[in-house]
Structure 1
Amino acid sequence: SARETFSAFAHPERSRPVAATMVLVVALIGAGSLVWTGQLAPDGTYRAIPGYWQQTADWLRDHADGDDPDDNNPDDNNAAHPGRALVVPGAPFADQLWGLTRDEPLQPLSTTPWAVRDAIPLTPPGAIRAMDSVQRDIAAGRPSPGLAATLAGQGIDFVVLRADLDPETSRSARPLLAQQTLTGSPGLRRVATFGPRVGPPSARGVVRDNGLRPDMPAIQIFAVDHGGNSDAASFPGTGPMLTDTASAARISGGPESIAAVQDLRARLGMAPLGPSILESDAARAGLENAPLVVTDTPADRETDFGRVDDHSSAIRAPGDARRTQNAAPDYPVDGQPLVEGQWLLDNAPGEVSV
């Protein structure tokens, strides 16, 4: 009867079927809560990669022979190697304003070589240190006179500047800073743009993010001038090359020092460094008679491997305590001693402890 049914629901502990039914209903409501609260899809979902990324991949494919984009004769190949592109600014993972892909949007689209500094670069430690030297220039927002020579030496023909990263969640440098570096550095010129202008919502009289996020084209491509370095112009960025070891400079330091040397030579009006070899590699190869350039690298630092910007500590002194839990404090440089700091008080050592 109705009275018995009401009594059973009022006191479910007296009826096992009613109790089981109520538990099932509650479980179904809880399981479906993501649906009726609109949270079934996690943050960062997207329907498709924007078309401007496919346009970027197509453009890089069409210019993969290293041909000058401004050349009136596209059939005249000025370089005999595929053009490698560097995607900037680097970010631990690809988290865009339009969605979270984690992998780079170019990954499924590009048929040509490209590189990016992310949280898990699948390259040797030396290559990571070299990429970090470029990333620091890009994130600084200041022109770098030796940047083009450094990129050319790394086999980079094009730089892809993206403005669709979400700076808040991707932990990346602001695209405006990268643009200032690229437009102000000699030997780099903008050759293509793709996509709409992107940026955060704006309100009159309101300045967001200290003015570092104006509307910018979603994608800008910059060409790297290899003309100042004939060796770099012939460098197959995706393979080996032959060079005269007698003229190759030896660098006493880490791979990151080459960018600093290129900057210094450019400021002094000297030609780009050209092919060079680290002193530790030169010693193993028996090439110890080449000119030697001494630098103050690699420095004894600790690095947060999960970041791509501002991820290294100040230079450490002997006896300084470790602050990170990494198995290795920094990306290693084989065969090269670390440059250590020293704490001084009134120019006297041993008076300061940290």
Structure 2
Amino acid sequence: MRVAFVGKGGSGKTTVSALFSRYVAGQGRPVVAVDADINQHLALVLGVDEEPEPLGGRLTEIKELLRGSNPLIPSAAAMVKTTPPGRGSRILRFADLPYTVATPEGPRLMATGPFSEDDLGVACYHSKVGAVELLLNHLVDGHDEYVVVDMTAGADSFASGLFTRFDVTFLVAEPTRQGVSVYRQYKDYAADHDVPVAVVGNKVHGPADVEFLHDQVGDDLLTWLEHSTAVRAMEQGRRFTLDDLEPANAEALSVLLKHVDAQEKDWERFGRQAAEFHLRNARAWANERTGRDLAEQIDPGFVYGQASLDCRPQAI
């Protein structure tokens, strides 16, 4: 299952996504956490000393890996961030996800990486996030496998088709007008693309905060995390494990996991939206950039989901 955490900058989405990743791993489930935010803080919150290999710096290698023997994709240069898989593409199982490092409490971590010196002033961060989009396009994950992505802040997530690559999207919102403003914007955009959004309140201090969130987001409020002295201590660099978390906040993480587990995989929607956003990008810029009609990369005979594993190239 693929889970996205989105929200306003400063809402605590990185912290909540890290806590959720730790909680899921603590239930004995395999988890890969992905830092796809321009501010790379997920490793810090997961207690990792070794930074993962930046995906953004391995984009050409990732393209070469994923194109496999797909005859519709003659080279890595012909691939863009939305290029969908087809027959002959290398389809990844969960265990195949590359460039991960271990974390102390179980989740493995991937990261897009920060801007390099060469990027400053000339590159868009979405070129790095494109590596995550490609990997998710080519991934077949099971119901008991979890990819948890800390997304870029605010509505900037909509600058690519990555926002459609998830089974569940959690929007983290503080109980303030600024905190719920991104919710309204995200909700409107997501509704046009069949992307349901559930709200997770954060930094809640009492019943008045909960009432405010209910008034602002209604039934989309799934649960909330109270202001946590344990989390604050973790953010200040002190030792932290999930056993230090307040019972109410641990229960909120349990609610999130139950919500994720209740979802059904919709591979048909996944494939339809992959083609839709690939065609959008092809027309907008990618055809001109590559000098090709990238609509021809869509393989109408390719079937998404477990069936695609039957015709994938041999694993490396």
The TM-score, its normalising length taken from structure 2, stands at: 0.28
Q: Which structure is larger by alpha-carbon Rg, 1 or 2?
A: 1
Decide which structure has greater helix share: 2
Q: Which has the higher contact order (CA 8 A, sep 6+)?
A: 2
The TM-score, its normalising length taken from structure 1, stands at: 0.26
